[in-house]
Amino acid sequence: MRTATASQMRQIDAEAIEHRGIPSLVLMERAAQAVADKASSLLRSEGLEHPARVAVLCGAGNNGGDGFAAARILRRAGIEATAFLVGDPDRMTPDCKEMARRLTEAGGSVISFDPTDTRLKACDLYLDAIIGFGLHAPLHGKAALAADFLAQTAEGRILAVDIPSGIDADTGRDLGCGFCCRATVTFTLPKPGHFIGAGSVACGSLTVADIGIPTDLVECFPSQLEALTEKNVRTILPKRDPAGHKGSFGKVLLFGGSIGYTGAPILAAEAALHSGTGLVYLGVPESVYPIAAVKCRESMPFPLPSLEDGTLSSEAASHALALAQDKDALLIGPGLGQSDGAMALLETVMTRSDAPLVIDADGLNLLAQNLSLLQARQSKVTILTPHDGEFSRLGGDLSSDDRLGAARDFARHHGVILILKGRGTLVAQPNGSAFVNTTGNSGMAKGGSGDALSGILLALLGQHLPPEKAAAAAVWLHGHAGDLAAAEKGEYGMLPRDLIAALPQAFRSVSETASPKLFE
């Protein structure tokens, strides 16, 4: 699903109005109808037995115009909708003024917002039409007062018009929002801020309404952030070769494990096996090899030389390189530790292997000690999978709360594909384009979930998917499997192994499910 920045959305709207002959008030009426329809749906879902009461908080801009029009439509449907102006009436845009006039002409009223007004109390639903997608500075004045009122009074009963007021549409930063919506209705295209940062939580469920802007106009604007959906992943996954064998679907190798951290490489290997790859090899320190050998059933562990303290020895690097020679993709990091031997292994593989390489967990912490290693891989495929803490150790700058900008800058500068994990996981490419994930849940916030992601990614790379598509598909499938696990086990009780167990169902949902029949 394509997204549009605030600037792009203004251009699209202006082009539709000025050059395609679609009156701005017509677009506003359509937007208001979509909001009113969603509001009615939410109210019906509550099974209200009395006439519903809705408070519509309207700013002085065009977002407020949408709100005034929605209030009129709701009143016409028999819902007790009351509109409150948040702002200076002298600063209302022409379209906002016209929608306020139409509301009063239809028997409604426009009331100046006062948080102590009793008419604001005990409403069944609150429409947030205070500020639209153009906000890039902190809320102030009555808008800040109204946002605080919603946070204190209406949590869980808020429907946002376009984007929650106080959320930066381009970055998802919280500029004074402070509340979470039950749902958000946006128009034509979603904005980056619906999926990243605080916006990904504040928006609640998202509806993208078509208000009649021509498709060719929308598509002529390049989108540098695409929201991953099932449709994306369906187009990415290749069809399985019915005549294929285990060698056809990739030979992959991961390096990981250490004393006390034997589970991480096993989880990654099992995730890879559940993701379609043919052969999975593990390189583990010989100190933990007996444990890995017992745990591995379908994957194949190999011992690497280790020291008396159980850490890898310097000799492990040459053994690792030999193991890597005929592999289609490599992974370094899960549970590996940060010993001198582990660093030697990372340096050797990064500089002397041409295979696509995923670096995760301890591999990232080792890399942070010598980022110059990335220079040796400028012409090779390297994918990094940090969470925020690991990203900061790698030199990523999250100080401005602009995760998307930080991820893009890092990927461009270092020539890597960066998977920045978290709510709304980002996949940033060296060319500046990016994906944002729309799947996943808080039940995945447990040790081992990241190992599962790196295993899925390793498997897709081993099956020779283009790296940027492999990264995008892995992130979505990882989250989708997590959602399937949560649906069965609940977010409190689900484990990473439950996520891995759900991978076959996740893949099946986006791939061919029927095998060709030889005989009918």
CATH number assigned to the domain comprising residue 333 = 3.40.1190.20
Residue 403's nearest CA partner among 431, 437, 426 is 426
pTM greater than 0.95 (yes/no):
no
User: How does pLDDT run across 276-286, given as a tens digit for each residue?
Assistant: 999 999 999 99
- Do 16 and 79 lie in one domain? The reply is yes
- Name the residue range of residue 50's domain: 6-223
pLDDT of residue 456: 98
pLDDT at 90 over 90: yes
Please compute the mean of the pLDDT values over residues 443-452 and round it to a whole number.
97
- Do 205 and 262 lie in one domain? The reply is no
Confidence of residue 514 (pLDDT cuts 50, 70, 90): very low
Residue 469's nearest CA partner among 232, 305, 247 is 232
Q: What is the largest distance, in Å, between two alpha-carbon atoms of the chain?
A: 86
Q: Which of 223, 257, 282 is the last residue of a domain?
A: 223
Q: Is residue 133 part of a domain?
A: yes
Helix/strand/coil (H/E/C) assignment for every residue in 424-476: CCEEECCCCCEEECCCCCHHHCCCCHHHHHHHHHHHHHHCCCCHHHHHHHHHH
- Do 294 and 353 lie in one domain? The reply is yes
Please compute the mean of the pLDDT values over residues 419-423 and round it to a whole number.
95
User: How does pLDDT run across 260-279, given as a tens digit for each residue?
Assistant: 999 999 999 999 999 999 99
- Do 186 and 327 lie in one domain? The reply is no
Please compute the mean of the pLDDT values over residues 161-177 and round it to a whole number.
95
Q: Is residue 51 part of a domain?
A: yes
Q: Is residue 318 part of a domain?
A: yes
Q: Is residue 1 part of a domain?
A: no
Mean pLDDT of the chain: 94
pLDDT of residue 50: 67
- Do 190 and 287 lie in one domain? The reply is no
- Asked if 324 and 348 touch (Cβ cutoff 8 Å), the reply is no
Check which CATH number belongs to the domain holding 57 and give it: 3.40.50.10260
pLDDT of residue 512: 64
- How many other CB atoms sit within 10 Å of the CB of residue 20? 12
Sign, CA torsion 509/480/244/379? positive
pLDDT at 305 over 80: yes
Q: Is residue 260 part of a domain?
A: yes
Letter string b/e over residues 314-338, b meaning 16 or more CB atoms within 10 A of that residue's CB: eebbebbeebbeebbbbbbbbbbbb
- Do 175 and 263 lie in one domain? The reply is no
- Asked if 164 and 199 touch (Cβ cutoff 8 Å), the reply is yes
Q: Which of 189, 223, 257 is the last residue of a domain?
A: 223
Q: What percentage of the chain has pLDDT greater than the value 90?
A: 89
- Do 494 and 350 lie in one domain? The reply is yes
Please compute the mean of the pLDDT values over residues 370-379 and round it to a whole number.
93
Please compute the mean of the pLDDT values over residues 222-236 and round it to a whole number.
91
- Do 283 and 430 lie in one domain? The reply is yes
Q: Is residue 513 part of a domain?
A: no
Burial of 240 (0-12, 13-18, 19+ CB in 10 A): middle
pLDDT of residue 57: 98
CA distance 335 to 324: 19
- Side-by-side strand order, sheet with 382-384: 225-227, 434-436, 426-428, 417-420, 382-384, 357-359, 329-332, 251-255, 279-285, 300-304
- Do 178 and 81 lie in one domain? The reply is yes
pLDDT of residue 437: 97
- Asked if 202 and 180 touch (Cβ cutoff 8 Å), the reply is yes
CA distance 260 to 138: 47
- Do 22 and 154 lie in one domain? The reply is yes
- Do 191 and 271 lie in one domain? The reply is no
- Do 434 and 481 lie in one domain? The reply is yes
Q: Is residue 24 part of a domain?
A: yes
Q: Is residue 91 part of a domain?
A: yes
Domain count, the chain: 2
